[in-house]
A and B are shown apart, each in its own frame.
Chain A
């Protein structure tokens, strides 16, 4: 089982490698990746250094180029793929069919993974990407149960990577329009859900009020743990007059306790979300998962590790992986 870990900066990349990551995934400092946050990500030079360090330690680096190119402005995306190939990264994570095609034709030996942004979650879709673009791995959206994943694996000829820890994106990924609705900017097109430029916090009588564009997303009373200002985790006042969560409460995904089942299902890699988080987060989650995977692979019980301090709303859930309804 491969542990794939996030890094938004060179310091986080070092932290991930030190903590035992098998692979670190990163993005360039522009709109070509789905974590286009200000002050984050890698220049080609920084990536080159990071790849060298990882390879020296016998580890790997993947590059996410997983937003959809803008019509009439394809160059930044092509350049990103070319740079990744030149630097010698171990795989590129792509979502757009045009870009997959470009990568296959220009850099046939560069491994291609299908990003979660492509939202491929059934055998027909995945087998199509395999036959058309020769993708080696698919990153599955956070909407399938472990049983569904196990079944899927028997019907495809591609490695699978699943999210193990981090932000809960509750919609079929790559298909959510909530951020576009509120701000005009989306993860698919601009690389950000609920961009900071449209976020505002206000402290009112001990309450933390968060706003996204023109919408009040939440008002956290004194002492209550806060979450990200995304519409999907907003608390709204409906007909009853009492504020309540419409889609999902602020919480993070954590499937550590389900590791044995995921290994059994034949999942190839576990992905930690959070390129936008600090190196302290990266170090804590990666070391925790390193221990857990090592234990689970040996057939030992997975040790309980408290990650409460770094989770959104200081809570976590196994999300759809263990859902028992349809």
Chain B
């Protein structure tokens, strides 16, 4: 049986993974106000996103940054959108659709700096559950020119110029860190990943063998039945 709470894959080796380790002592509920603030700002700045989302009736998304210890629970209910932050150890809530991927890519997707299908083709992004709802969310978010710097830097206008410079510095630092991590990942994780994929292949082969044995069994059973039938042909 597929364990819904089990991680579906090895977390990606990213700067966020380490940021996540450091943030571990921070409980999920204390991040809730931040997430809710971001949502309020987005509703104000980009109403078009939410009008496109309104066609969804009662859908809960679980957005799962695979390199963090938190998950975002986004629900659209009666034309209203809500968000909650959950710890990875919290019980998995009822969700119709799950989107998983590295946090940086999820943020880039939110800003429309990468194409969702491209992330999906390259297997960076995983989706499960209600595919139509996921597409609706993706299209809705992509319909606005979201800029995180505007979302986060809004309330105190006079610090905005400084904030923008700071934000772009953090951004470029993040990008170079990401590159370094990818190199490190190749050297450290590659042998392990190869081993894991060998095990996966072995499991696939066993599954194939089992399937063949099953088929053989059915054949044997049918011919046995035929043999057991009294001879004498058609009655």
Contact = CB atoms under 8 A, between A and B. Distances in A.
A19 to B, nearest CB: 13
Interface string B134-153: 11111110111100000000
A207 to B, nearest CB: 8
Classify chain B's interface size.
35 or more
When A and B form their complex, which 9 residue pairs have the shortest distance between CB atoms, in order from nearest? Answer: A39-B139, A9-B143, A39-B136, A281-B115, A196-B132, A278-B115, A38-B136, A199-B131, A280-B115
How would you classify the secondary structure of chain B's contact residues: helix, strand, loop or mixed? helix
A38 B132 contact: yes
Chain B CB within 10 Å, residue with most, of A200, A206, A313: A206
B120 to A, nearest CB: 6
A312 B123 CA distance: 11
A227 B118 CA distance: 9
B122 interface: yes
B52 A39 contact: yes
A275 B48 CA distance: 18
Contacts of A208: 123, 126
Interface stretch (A59-67, A79-87, A217-225): A217-225
11 contacts: A9-B143, A11-B145, A38-B133, A39-B135, A206-B9, A222-B197, A226-B120, A278-B116, A279-B112, A310-B118, A314-B121
Interface of A: 8-12, 14, 37-40, 195-197, 199-208, 220-228, 250, 276-281, 284, 309-314
Contact of B139 (A8, A195, A281, A312): A8
B29 to A, nearest CB: 29
B200 interface: yes
A18 B6 CA distance: 44
Contacts of B53: 39
Given A39-B138, A226-B121, A206 B143 contact: no
A225 B131 contact: no
Contact of B118 (A195, A206, A222, A309): A309
B139 A280 contact: no
Contacts of B203: 205
B144 A11 contact: yes
Contact of A12 (B2, B114, B142, B196): B142
Contacts of B112: 11, 278-280
Interface string B195-208: 01100100110000
Contacts of A276: 117, 139
B222 interface: no
Nearest to B113: A280
Contacts of A199: 131-132
B143 A10 contact: yes
Given A205-B204, A280-B113, 9 more contacts: A11-B112, A39-B55, A39-B137, A197-B132, A204-B2, A206-B200, A225-B122, A250-B121, A310-B121
A37 B118 CA distance: 17
Given A38-B55, A278-B117, A281-B118, A223 B123 contact: yes
A117 B115 CA distance: 26
Contacts of B142: 8-9, 11-12, 278-279
Nearest to B120: A226
Contact of B123 (A197, A220, A311): A220
Contacts of A40: 139
B128 interface: yes
Nearest to A206: B200
Given A38-B55, A39-B55, A206-B9, A196 B117 contact: no
B116 A203 contact: no
Contacts of A202: 128
